Chain A
Amino acid sequence: MNVTGRQRFGFSAYAGLVLLIFYFPVFCITAASLSKKRYFSFPFPASDLTLKWYHDALVSPQVSQYVGVSLRVALLTTVLSVIIGFFGALAYARYAWRGRRAFQRLVLLPLFFPQSVLGLALLMWFNFLDITPSWITAVLAHTVWIAPITTLIMSIQAYSFDNSLEEAARDMGATNGQILRWITIPLLTPGMVSAGCFAILLSWGNFALSLFTTGADSTLPEWLYARMTSGYQPIIPAVGTLSVLLAIALVFLVVGILSLRRRNAAKPAASTP
């Protein structure tokens, strides 16, 4: 179908409207975080604009403690899910083996599952094993949910994998370890980077799994939730806005790095016929 200019305009207007509504809550949070008043009301005069709450959020020892827990959980989850997902993607997409179809179903299962129930199930399992929940058990919970996602992301890359490169290396006498180190890992690196970004961001923002599995520790989303339902302070929208900005910045950073790498990789390939 050749789309006419008017149709294209209609679709663009619709997309703009959806994005506008989609970003309405982000606008609201930002507005609330910039208002001087303890009890937010809109619209407020320009004289009420302040960055005080951001300052408070950045120096608050309480906030940085929760940020610390969230970061630890996110980083460890990312490392685990990228490693597990790397091999998972090879099993998913690269090798033809007998259990493959069942394995592909297994990868999807945790994604098509209510997170709150998964969190509860893990809590009871930890209780059964006499393990006291802490941020480490939260890492396990996050990994169960995020490793399938990293596996799928890296599978996309693994499907376009050129098997003959590995075979050539093997013919020339490379060991399995050498092939992994010099062929497989470099070829899947772009997939690993985007999978890692997904992992760190999804773990950072997760609430449903953390709620049940962190025990006495508390992540940033949990603390925000507790303060939202009781004891509102303008520092809460400030922290919320910061975390939105952080997510957007990280996405753009990674997109930038990946497209830069692609451009660099394309250059030598283009010069040699």
Chain B
Amino acid sequence: MTRKSRSNSARVSRRSFSAGIGAAGLVAGMAPFSIARAQSGPLKVGVLLPRSGFEAGIGQDCQRGVDIAAPILKSLGLPELAIVNGDTESSVETARSRAAQMISDGAQLLIGAFDSGQTTAIAQVAEQNGIPLVINIAAAPEITDQGYKFVFRNFPTAKMILGDAFENQKQVFNLVGAAPKTVVFMHVNDTFGTAMAKGINFVMPKFNMPYTIADEIAYDPAARDLSVEVAKAKASNPDALLLVSRLNDAMLLTRELVKQRWTPQAILSMGPGWYEDQYLKTLGKLSDGPLSFVPWYDPNKPLSKKLEAALAAAYPGINLNTNHVFTFEALLVAADAYKRAGSADPKALADAIRATNITDNVSIGPGIQFDGTGQNAKVKDGAVQNRGGKIVVLSPPDAANAKPEWPLASYQSRT
């Protein structure tokens, strides 16, 4: 039996077997590039967002930016994009595997993923596969500090957010003629929250802020009960709360502030959560007042008005926010690059993204350009406030459409 088997296998010589393997490898290696180059239709864009899990609310909100994009991009004379949606399930590991799956399914460019940890994982996969990733929202500086050639971010880093936040806070304090003397710094302990916490010690001293940090409290963004955290913050008796949070914890914190009968002078948020539509709708009157110092849109730009109108038509009652704006702008970058590259070749696309110069955009700042690291260093933050279920812009002055209200109205008077 064995002898016969050997005799049969001997029909394929060692040399021809090696040649076959080599040829198969060559074909396999070239296949993705051949597929990419051969396509001349819409650019196949994989949009990875946390559509389920504890960040689902924000992920689904980002999706609204995708949903309203197509007619606006068409009106700008940009090519069509074929969107493929993916769910990271608010998990780093799922984000990594979904990114790999999307690329193997033929995605020619990736967009995502709101969360810094998940985006870091996707960036590694995109870089390994040589597929461009345009980050919609993620602030951890390390993502664009790795020397990646295929990763681009049209969103400020944690350091940029902090710098702009302190600048805008001082602007607001000047406008109201008051400022807190002490704050408690509460932050989530995920990648973004930790990056912000690390950055604050380096950035804050440069801005000569009027307050000192009385205590720092890190907590789990998936926490189900934040009563102890709020009690601990209250015990320090600060004038204001300085926060880096997510959506669910922002709602939990507000509930605890009400239950523990504590209204600080101000809530100064430097992250998501407090301006989200779900926050406004779930908490109603209790959602009024928090100040967010975050990447935002310039309501005075022409494209902002188009985006506002498109969102109002598609989702009546939903306010335009960071999630929609930066997800839309990521698609804008992709479509603009695809048009200039004239090809879906990943390298040509990456080169075109690197040469981006979009001035007709939505976010605050002069426009979208990427530096050598793939970072848009010109994007600016704003100061916004929740007011009667809407969000108004307070700063910078050229993007402002309202004056700040100070101090925070007592929660007890609202229930």
Q: Do A and B bind each other?
A: no
